[in-house]
Structure 1
Amino acid sequence: MTAGPLTVAVLLGVLAGSVAPTLGGRYVVPNPRVARPRRPRLGLAVAGGVAFGGLVAARGDDPALPVLLVIAAVGLVLAAVDLDCLRLPDPLVAAAAASGALGLGAVAAAGGEAARLSTALAGAAISLAGYVLLALLPGSRLGFGDVKLAAALGLPLGWLGWPALAWGLALPHVLGGLWALAQLLAGRIRRDTGWPFGPAILTGAWLAALLA
């Protein structure tokens, strides 16, 4: 991977992260469980640059790279909304799912990779089933927005292979648990405080795409 495409990818990611809070603003509603609105514009800009740059560096030879970048861009908007008001709006999750389904379907048709598309669909089904079970456990903090997002991300993770899917299912819980523990120790949240799990799902999926 040469420096030129990587630099362009990072700049596009910074742009996507910068506009994510604005694009997600229409979905933000007051939430009494959030002590104060979060406006993570700078953090999302940095996250966008890292996310796009990482995907291009790790998956630059995958014909599905444009699809992964579109999903990452939608993910930045989802993260902005979830951080602000603990919501993962259905239209945004549907946009991520549709981008994956249509984009990967087109790539599979162009490259004759029907088997890989089948694995992608299986990944979505496995993610959906796993998160539904977790959401139904007593005391679970998962909402069905998290369930639907996990299913949407299971599609590209399945496309990348079973190791990516396994990492994508495991990492969000590790990352979310560590974040919650750090916030508890710092006194920023209590045990009964709601906190966004969507960014952990998105970050876990991104890391899985890099690791697998």
Structure 2
Amino acid sequence: MSAGLVTGVALLGALAGRAAGPLARVFTDSPPPAVRSPGPVVPVSDPDLAAAAFDSGRPADDLGTGRGAGAAALAGTLVFGALAATRGGDPALPAFLAVAAVGLALALADLACLRLPDPLVAAAAAAATLGLVPVALAGTPERLLTALAGAAVSFVGYLLLALLPGARLGFGDVKLAAALGLPLGWLGWPTLGLGLLLPHLLNGVVVVALLAAGQVRRDTPLPFGPAILAGAWLAVLLV
């Protein structure tokens, strides 16, 4: 893909980032349920918790406004631009971009409220399916089977992790992993494997850094959705 087209896609990503906040806010207006941690039950919308966990304290109503909107636009530019630069010749690129656009909203929702709204997760799965099916039917139907297998493997793997005693994974994380398993599986088993591994490595680094900085406690609930999304994005770029 030419530099001009990559730049155009990156600018489209900036628009997607700008739209991510308002889209996330639509699905996070209702008060989320309390999250049980080893300590007392804490409402995840509590501004003090948000400040401790993310050093922001921004309620869901502020999603997509102020400096947050600029950061989301920058993230969209980076995500879309990198996808265009590395997978510009792939006919499945529109599907990856559509999933990434929904992923930006999911990341913001999880950061603000520790929630991965089911409608947004379903939208990510639908974007992957509707984008990949025509490409598969045009000449590579076997890749669609691999994509479905990737979704199944991701779902089962994360479900087992979520059911472990003391697990911090929620079922929203399980469903998001299954949705992202579609595009990861489409690219093959090495990409899928890396996409399943990287989120845990990324999240571990973030947690250690926050603990070292005194920003969180060991029992502070933290979002895992952004790590799932970032890990999948990096796997698409690296493999």
TM-score where L is the length of structure 2? 0.85
| Runs of 4 or more consecutive aligned structure 1 residues displaced over 4 Å after TM superposition | none
Counterparts of 2:183 and 2:198, CA distance in 1 = 16
Match of 1:67 among 54, 76, 95: 95
Match of 1:109 among 132, 137, 145: 137
Whether 1:131 aligns to 2:158 is: yes
**CA displacement at 1:42 relative to structure 2:** 2.2
Where does structure 2 lack aligned partners over 5 or more consecutive residues?
32-44, 52-56
Percent identity, aligned pairs only, is 62
Q: Distance in 1 between matches of 2:5 and 2:19?
A: 21
2:217 is the counterpart of 1:196: no
> Residue 165 of structure 2 aligns to a residue in which SS?
coil
Matches within 5 A, 1:15-94: 15-28=15-28, 29-30=30-31, 31-32=45-46, 33-35=49-51, 36-37=57-58, 39=63, 40-94=68-122
Q: In the TM superposition, what is the alpha-carbon distance from 1:125 to its structure 2 partner?
A: 0.4
Distance 1:193 1:34 in 2: 10
Deviations 1:115-134 (A, max 9, x none): 11111010000000000010
Asked if 2 retains the 8 angstrom alpha-carbon contact of 1:37 and 1:85, the reply is: no
Residue type matched to 2:229 in 1?
L
> Residue 184 of structure 1 corresponds to which residue in structure 2?
211
Give the SS at the match of 2:50. Answer: coil
**Which is worse superposed, 124-133 or 101-110?**
101-110
Give SS of 1:62's match.
coil
Amino acid at match of 1:128: F
Q: How big is the shift at 1:26?
A: 1.5
Equivalences, count: 211
The residue identity in structure 2 corresponding to 1:22 is P
- Please say if 1:119 is aligned against 2:146: yes
What's the offset of the Cα at 1:104? Answer: 0.8
Deviation at 1:15, TM superposition (A): 1.1
CA positional deviation for 1:92: 0.3
1:14 matched to which residue of 2? Answer: 14
3-state DSSP of counterpart to 1:34: helix
Name the CA distance, whole Å, in 1 between partners of 2:143 and 2:199: 24
When Rg is computed on C-alpha atoms for both structures, the one with the higher figure is: 2
Question: Normalising to structure 1: TM-score of the pair?
Answer: 0.96
Comparing 10-19 with 32-41, which one deviates more in the overlay? 32-41
Tell me the equivalent position of 2:2: 2
Residue 94 of structure 1 aligns with an amino acid whose one-letter code is A
Is the Cα–Cα contact under 8 Å of residues 34 and 86 in structure 1 kept in the other structure? no
1:183 and 1:42 map into 2 onto residues whose CA distance is 23
1:144 equivalent to 2:165? Answer no
Q: Deviations over 1:52-90 (max 9, x none)?
A: 011111111111000000000000010111111000000
